[in-house]
Amino acid sequence: MAYILNESISSVPEHLRTFFDGETEIPTLTVGGCGSFSVTKTFDCGQAFRFDPVDETTFAGTAFGDKIAVGQTSPGVITLYKVSREQFELRWQHYLALDEDYDAIDRFLIETMPNERDRAVMTAAVEAGRGIRILRQEPFETLISFIVSQNNNIPRIKKIIRTLCDTYGENGAFPTAEALAEAGTDALYELKTGFRAKYIHDAACRVASGELDLGKVLACEDYAACDAMLRTVHGVGPKVSACVLLYGFGKTEAFPVDVWIRKSLERHFPDGFDAKRLGKYAGIAQQYLFYYERYING
Protein backbone atom coordinates (compact mmCIF):
# COMPACT_ATOMS: atom_id res chain seq x y z
CA MET A 1 0.00 0.00 0.00
CA ALA A 2 1.20 3.47 -0.86
CA TYR A 3 2.56 5.72 1.87
CA ILE A 4 3.87 9.28 1.99
CA LEU A 5 7.65 9.49 2.16
CA ASN A 6 7.89 13.24 2.17
CA GLU A 7 5.67 16.31 2.00
CA SER A 8 6.87 19.82 1.49
CA ILE A 9 6.22 23.20 -0.07
CA SER A 10 8.78 23.19 -2.85
CA SER A 11 9.80 25.43 -5.70
CA VAL A 12 8.34 24.35 -9.03
CA PRO A 13 10.85 22.54 -11.26
CA GLU A 14 11.85 24.58 -14.28
CA HIS A 15 10.07 22.41 -16.84
CA LEU A 16 6.79 22.65 -14.90
CA ARG A 17 6.77 26.45 -14.53
CA THR A 18 4.70 27.04 -17.65
CA PHE A 19 2.23 24.31 -16.76
CA PHE A 20 1.69 25.76 -13.31
CA ASP A 21 1.20 29.25 -14.75
CA GLY A 22 4.41 30.66 -13.29
CA GLU A 23 3.68 29.60 -9.72
CA THR A 24 6.86 29.28 -7.71
CA GLU A 25 5.96 27.35 -4.55
CA ILE A 26 3.62 24.36 -4.54
CA PRO A 27 2.86 21.45 -2.20
CA THR A 28 4.88 18.47 -3.32
CA LEU A 29 4.50 14.89 -2.20
CA THR A 30 6.80 11.91 -2.52
CA VAL A 31 4.89 8.64 -2.34
CA GLY A 32 6.44 5.22 -1.81
CA GLY A 33 4.98 1.75 -1.86
CA CYS A 34 3.59 2.25 -5.35
CA GLY A 35 4.67 -1.22 -6.46
CA SER A 36 5.01 -1.61 -10.21
CA PHE A 37 3.28 1.75 -10.92
CA SER A 38 4.47 3.25 -14.19
CA VAL A 39 3.69 6.92 -14.78
CA THR A 40 4.37 6.78 -18.50
CA LYS A 41 2.36 3.61 -19.19
CA THR A 42 -0.56 4.77 -17.06
CA PHE A 43 -0.91 8.14 -18.78
CA ASP A 44 0.07 7.01 -22.26
CA CYS A 45 -2.17 3.97 -22.73
CA GLY A 46 -5.21 5.78 -24.12
CA GLN A 47 -7.43 6.01 -21.04
CA ALA A 48 -6.84 9.67 -20.05
CA PHE A 49 -6.92 12.51 -22.56
CA ARG A 50 -6.00 15.55 -20.45
CA PHE A 51 -2.46 14.55 -19.44
CA ASP A 52 0.66 15.23 -21.48
CA PRO A 53 4.33 14.35 -20.99
CA VAL A 54 6.54 17.16 -19.71
CA ASP A 55 9.71 15.09 -19.55
CA GLU A 56 10.80 11.44 -19.83
CA THR A 57 9.02 10.30 -16.68
CA THR A 58 6.56 13.08 -15.79
CA PHE A 59 3.01 13.75 -16.97
CA ALA A 60 1.00 16.87 -16.23
CA GLY A 61 -2.70 17.46 -16.62
CA THR A 62 -6.07 18.33 -15.11
CA ALA A 63 -8.52 16.16 -13.19
CA PHE A 64 -11.36 17.21 -10.86
CA GLY A 65 -10.61 20.75 -11.99
CA ASP A 66 -7.13 20.69 -10.46
CA LYS A 67 -3.85 20.86 -12.30
CA ILE A 68 -1.33 18.32 -11.07
CA ALA A 69 1.82 16.62 -12.30
CA VAL A 70 2.96 13.07 -11.62
CA GLY A 71 6.59 12.04 -11.90
CA GLN A 72 8.34 8.71 -11.56
CA THR A 73 11.10 9.19 -8.99
CA SER A 74 12.33 5.60 -8.87
CA PRO A 75 10.75 2.14 -9.02
CA GLY A 76 7.83 2.16 -6.61
CA VAL A 77 8.20 5.86 -5.85
CA ILE A 78 6.33 8.74 -7.49
CA THR A 79 6.28 12.49 -6.93
CA LEU A 80 3.02 14.43 -6.99
CA TYR A 81 3.24 18.16 -7.76
CA LYS A 82 0.66 20.53 -6.34
CA VAL A 83 -0.84 17.85 -4.15
CA SER A 84 -1.12 18.09 -0.37
CA ARG A 85 -1.35 15.15 2.03
CA GLU A 86 -5.04 15.84 2.54
CA GLN A 87 -5.77 15.95 -1.20
CA PHE A 88 -3.75 12.80 -1.71
CA GLU A 89 -5.67 10.83 0.86
CA LEU A 90 -9.00 12.27 -0.18
CA ARG A 91 -8.66 11.98 -3.92
CA TRP A 92 -5.42 11.22 -5.74
CA GLN A 93 -4.58 7.94 -4.06
CA HIS A 94 -7.90 6.60 -5.29
CA TYR A 95 -7.63 8.31 -8.69
CA LEU A 96 -4.26 6.69 -9.30
CA ALA A 97 -5.50 3.30 -8.03
CA LEU A 98 -2.72 3.23 -5.45
CA ASP A 99 -5.20 1.50 -3.13
CA GLU A 100 -5.32 -1.57 -5.39
CA ASP A 101 -2.95 -4.55 -5.13
CA TYR A 102 -1.90 -4.91 -8.75
CA ASP A 103 0.70 -7.61 -8.00
CA ALA A 104 -2.12 -9.82 -6.76
CA ILE A 105 -4.27 -8.93 -9.76
CA ASP A 106 -1.41 -9.76 -12.14
CA ARG A 107 -1.00 -13.17 -10.53
CA PHE A 108 -4.75 -13.77 -10.64
CA LEU A 109 -4.95 -12.97 -14.35
CA ILE A 110 -2.19 -15.45 -15.19
CA GLU A 111 -3.45 -18.18 -12.85
CA THR A 112 -6.97 -17.91 -14.19
CA MET A 113 -6.03 -18.76 -17.77
CA PRO A 114 -7.47 -22.19 -18.58
CA ASN A 115 -4.36 -23.79 -20.10
CA GLU A 116 -0.58 -23.49 -20.34
CA ARG A 117 -0.65 -21.89 -23.78
CA ASP A 118 -3.04 -19.12 -22.74
CA ARG A 119 -1.10 -18.66 -19.52
CA ALA A 120 2.05 -17.99 -21.54
CA VAL A 121 0.27 -15.34 -23.60
CA MET A 122 -1.21 -13.65 -20.54
CA THR A 123 2.18 -13.72 -18.84
CA ALA A 124 3.70 -11.89 -21.80
CA ALA A 125 0.88 -9.33 -21.85
CA VAL A 126 1.15 -8.73 -18.10
CA GLU A 127 4.90 -8.25 -18.37
CA ALA A 128 4.46 -5.83 -21.28
CA GLY A 129 1.80 -3.78 -19.54
CA ARG A 130 3.00 -4.11 -15.97
CA GLY A 131 2.73 -0.76 -14.23
CA ILE A 132 -0.44 0.40 -15.98
CA ARG A 133 -3.08 1.52 -13.51
CA ILE A 134 -6.75 1.83 -14.44
CA LEU A 135 -7.45 5.40 -13.35
CA ARG A 136 -10.65 6.30 -11.54
CA GLN A 137 -11.59 9.32 -13.58
CA GLU A 138 -14.61 11.58 -13.30
CA PRO A 139 -17.74 9.85 -14.62
CA PHE A 140 -19.16 12.68 -16.74
CA GLU A 141 -15.79 13.60 -18.21
CA THR A 142 -15.17 9.96 -19.09
CA LEU A 143 -18.60 9.60 -20.67
CA ILE A 144 -18.10 12.60 -22.96
CA SER A 145 -14.46 11.74 -23.66
CA PHE A 146 -15.25 8.27 -24.93
CA ILE A 147 -18.17 9.53 -27.00
CA VAL A 148 -15.61 11.84 -28.60
CA SER A 149 -13.25 8.87 -29.04
CA GLN A 150 -15.49 6.98 -31.43
CA ASN A 151 -14.01 6.51 -34.90
CA ASN A 152 -11.31 8.98 -33.89
CA ASN A 153 -7.60 9.05 -33.06
CA ILE A 154 -5.99 9.98 -29.78
CA PRO A 155 -4.33 13.29 -30.81
CA ARG A 156 -7.62 14.60 -32.20
CA ILE A 157 -9.60 13.29 -29.23
CA LYS A 158 -7.26 15.26 -26.96
CA LYS A 159 -7.58 18.35 -29.12
CA ILE A 160 -11.40 18.27 -29.09
CA ILE A 161 -11.50 17.74 -25.32
CA ARG A 162 -9.09 20.65 -24.79
CA THR A 163 -11.35 22.87 -26.89
CA LEU A 164 -14.43 21.72 -24.95
CA CYS A 165 -12.74 22.60 -21.66
CA ASP A 166 -11.43 25.94 -22.91
CA THR A 167 -14.85 26.92 -24.26
CA TYR A 168 -17.29 25.54 -21.70
CA GLY A 169 -15.23 24.63 -18.62
CA GLU A 170 -14.82 26.82 -15.51
CA ASN A 171 -11.18 27.68 -14.85
CA GLY A 172 -9.82 24.79 -16.87
CA ALA A 173 -12.15 22.18 -15.42
CA PHE A 174 -14.07 19.79 -17.63
CA PRO A 175 -17.44 21.31 -18.54
CA THR A 176 -20.50 20.42 -16.49
CA ALA A 177 -23.42 18.58 -18.05
CA GLU A 178 -25.48 21.76 -17.66
CA ALA A 179 -22.94 23.82 -19.60
CA LEU A 180 -22.82 21.37 -22.51
CA ALA A 181 -26.57 20.93 -22.53
CA GLU A 182 -27.07 24.67 -22.70
CA ALA A 183 -24.42 25.05 -25.41
CA GLY A 184 -26.55 23.12 -27.91
CA THR A 185 -25.68 20.76 -30.74
CA ASP A 186 -24.81 23.45 -33.26
CA ALA A 187 -22.29 25.14 -30.99
CA LEU A 188 -20.71 21.77 -30.18
CA TYR A 189 -20.52 21.03 -33.90
CA GLU A 190 -18.59 24.26 -34.37
CA LEU A 191 -15.83 22.77 -32.20
CA LYS A 192 -15.09 20.22 -34.95
CA THR A 193 -16.72 17.36 -33.06
CA GLY A 194 -18.37 16.25 -36.30
CA PHE A 195 -21.17 13.69 -36.14
CA ARG A 196 -20.48 13.31 -32.40
CA ALA A 197 -21.95 16.75 -31.59
CA LYS A 198 -25.50 15.40 -31.24
CA TYR A 199 -24.22 12.49 -29.14
CA ILE A 200 -22.37 14.81 -26.74
CA HIS A 201 -25.42 17.01 -26.46
CA ASP A 202 -27.75 14.08 -25.84
CA ALA A 203 -25.49 12.76 -23.08
CA ALA A 204 -25.24 16.20 -21.47
CA CYS A 205 -29.02 16.73 -21.59
CA ARG A 206 -29.78 13.35 -20.05
CA VAL A 207 -27.29 13.91 -17.23
CA ALA A 208 -28.36 17.52 -16.64
CA SER A 209 -32.04 16.55 -16.49
CA GLY A 210 -31.37 13.65 -14.14
CA GLU A 211 -32.73 11.20 -16.67
CA LEU A 212 -29.32 9.53 -16.53
CA ASP A 213 -28.08 9.47 -12.92
CA LEU A 214 -24.32 8.88 -12.94
CA GLY A 215 -24.29 8.59 -9.16
CA LYS A 216 -26.72 5.74 -9.47
CA VAL A 217 -24.46 4.04 -12.03
CA LEU A 218 -21.51 4.48 -9.68
CA ALA A 219 -23.37 2.85 -6.79
CA CYS A 220 -24.93 0.07 -8.86
CA GLU A 221 -23.35 -3.36 -8.41
CA ASP A 222 -25.13 -4.95 -11.37
CA TYR A 223 -22.84 -4.50 -14.38
CA ALA A 224 -25.51 -5.27 -16.97
CA ALA A 225 -27.76 -2.65 -15.38
CA CYS A 226 -24.92 -0.07 -15.46
CA ASP A 227 -24.32 -0.85 -19.11
CA ALA A 228 -28.03 -0.48 -19.90
CA MET A 229 -28.21 2.91 -18.16
CA LEU A 230 -25.27 4.33 -20.12
CA ARG A 231 -26.58 2.96 -23.40
CA THR A 232 -29.76 4.98 -23.15
CA VAL A 233 -27.55 7.77 -24.49
CA HIS A 234 -27.68 8.12 -28.27
CA GLY A 235 -24.14 7.41 -29.43
CA VAL A 236 -23.11 5.12 -26.59
CA GLY A 237 -22.71 1.55 -27.82
CA PRO A 238 -21.01 -1.50 -26.29
CA LYS A 239 -17.44 -0.26 -26.71
CA VAL A 240 -17.92 3.28 -25.40
CA SER A 241 -20.05 2.01 -22.52
CA ALA A 242 -17.39 -0.50 -21.46
CA CYS A 243 -14.63 2.13 -21.60
CA VAL A 244 -16.69 4.60 -19.56
CA LEU A 245 -17.53 1.98 -16.93
CA LEU A 246 -13.90 0.85 -16.76
CA TYR A 247 -12.11 4.22 -16.68
CA GLY A 248 -14.78 6.42 -15.12
CA PHE A 249 -16.67 4.15 -12.75
CA GLY A 250 -14.05 1.69 -11.55
CA LYS A 251 -16.05 -1.23 -12.99
CA THR A 252 -12.99 -3.37 -13.67
CA GLU A 253 -15.08 -6.26 -14.98
CA ALA A 254 -15.72 -4.19 -18.13
CA PHE A 255 -14.00 -5.61 -21.20
CA PRO A 256 -14.01 -3.06 -24.06
CA VAL A 257 -13.45 -4.71 -27.44
CA ASP A 258 -11.94 -2.50 -30.13
CA VAL A 259 -9.94 -3.27 -33.26
CA TRP A 260 -6.75 -3.85 -31.25
CA ILE A 261 -8.34 -6.26 -28.81
CA ARG A 262 -10.07 -8.06 -31.65
CA LYS A 263 -6.69 -8.50 -33.38
CA SER A 264 -5.02 -9.57 -30.15
CA LEU A 265 -7.65 -12.21 -29.37
CA GLU A 266 -7.60 -13.53 -32.95
CA ARG A 267 -3.83 -13.76 -32.95
CA HIS A 268 -3.14 -15.10 -29.47
CA PHE A 269 -6.31 -16.97 -28.53
CA PRO A 270 -7.44 -18.74 -31.71
CA ASP A 271 -9.52 -21.19 -29.66
CA GLY A 272 -11.47 -18.37 -28.02
CA PHE A 273 -11.13 -16.10 -25.03
CA ASP A 274 -13.65 -16.03 -22.21
CA ALA A 275 -13.42 -12.60 -20.60
CA LYS A 276 -16.11 -13.50 -18.06
CA ARG A 277 -13.72 -16.05 -16.60
CA LEU A 278 -11.56 -13.12 -15.42
CA GLY A 279 -14.53 -11.75 -13.52
CA LYS A 280 -13.84 -8.55 -11.67
CA TYR A 281 -10.44 -8.04 -13.31
CA ALA A 282 -11.26 -8.65 -16.97
CA GLY A 283 -10.78 -4.95 -17.70
CA ILE A 284 -7.24 -4.96 -16.41
CA ALA A 285 -6.40 -7.95 -18.60
CA GLN A 286 -7.98 -6.04 -21.46
CA GLN A 287 -5.71 -3.08 -20.80
CA TYR A 288 -2.62 -5.29 -20.73
CA LEU A 289 -3.65 -7.05 -23.96
CA PHE A 290 -4.39 -3.67 -25.58
CA TYR A 291 -1.01 -2.30 -24.57
CA TYR A 292 0.77 -5.50 -25.64
CA GLU A 293 -0.88 -5.48 -29.06
CA ARG A 294 -0.84 -1.74 -29.69
CA TYR A 295 2.56 -0.72 -28.36
CA ILE A 296 4.70 -3.89 -28.23
CA ASN A 297 3.55 -6.14 -31.06
CA GLY A 298 2.12 -3.22 -33.10
Partner DNA sequence: TGCCAGGGCGCCG
Partner DNA sequence: CGGCGCCATGGC
Q: Is 212 among the residues that bind DNA (CB under 7 A)?
A: no
- The site that binds DNA (CB under 7 A) totals a number of residues, namely 34
Distances (CA, A) of 97 to 2, 77, 92, 154, 187: 10, 14, 8, 23, 36
Backbone angles phi, psi at 54, to 5 degrees: -115, -20
DSSP 164-229: HHHHHSSTTSPPPHHHHHHH-HHHHIIIIIGGGHHHHHHHHHHHHHTSS-HHHHHH---HHHHHHH
CB-wise, 79 or 287, nearer to DNA? 287
Q: Is 298 among the residues that bind DNA (CB under 7 A)?
A: no
Least gap, CB of 150 to DNA (angstroms): 3
Least gap, CB of 124 to DNA (angstroms): 18
Q: Is 252 among the residues that bind DNA (CB under 7 A)?
A: no
Give the burial class of 208: count Cβ atoms within 10 A of its Cβ; 0-12 exposed, 13-18 middle, 19 or more buried. Answer: middle
Largest CA distance in the chain: 57
Q: Helix, strand or coil for residue 233? A: coil
Q: Helix, strand or coil for residue 284? A: helix
What residues from 99 to 138 belong to the interface with DNA (CB under 7 A)?
none
Q: Is 248 among the residues that bind DNA (CB under 7 A)?
A: no
What residues from 140 to 179 belong to the interface with DNA (CB under 7 A)?
149-157
Interface pick for DNA out of 38, 58, 93, 241 (rule CB under 7 A): 241
Q: Is the dihedral of CA 244, 64, 45, 276 positive or negative?
A: negative
CB-wise, 175 or 235, nearer to DNA? 235
What residues from 257 to 296 belong to the interface with DNA (CB under 7 A)?
258-261, 286-287, 290
- Positions marked active-site: 239
CB-wise, 81 or 199, nearer to DNA? 199
Please report which helix (H) or strand (E) contains residue 4, including its range. Answer: strand 3-11
Stretch that binds DNA, among 34-42, 108-116, 188-196, 271-279 (CB under 7 A): 188-196
Radius of gyration of the chain (CA): 19
Length of the chain: 298
Interface pick for DNA out of 195, 209, 210, 225 (rule CB under 7 A): 195
Interface pick for DNA out of 35, 46, 71, 139 (rule CB under 7 A): 46
Binding site for DNA (CB under 7 A): 45-47, 149-157, 189, 192, 194-195, 231, 234-241, 243, 256, 258-261, 286-287, 290
